[in-house]
Amino acid sequence: MNIRPQYYTRRDGDGSWSIVNTQTQKVAVIAETLPLRRLDESTAMEIIDA
């Protein structure tokens, strides 16, 4: 059985959004070559839904 970690969005103090792993509480790495440093809420939710 393949179990994927669950994620949630978190609004950071600077107004940006992060995608966080619910188990480790660490910010998820979305792309190795092009890190997403600032996300708006709708983009973060679209990534989680995908």
Query: For residue 47, what pLDDT is reported?
Result: 78
Sort 3 into a burial class: Cβ within 10 Å, 0-12 / 13-18 / 19+: exposed
Copy the structure tokens of residue 16.
């940006």
- 1-47: per-residue pLDDT in tens? 666 668 888 888 888 888 888 888 888 876 655 556 667 778 777 87
Q: What angle do CA 40, 19, 29 make, to 5 degrees?
A: 115
Domains of the chain, residue spans = 7-49
Say whether 11 sits in a helix, a strand or coil.
strand
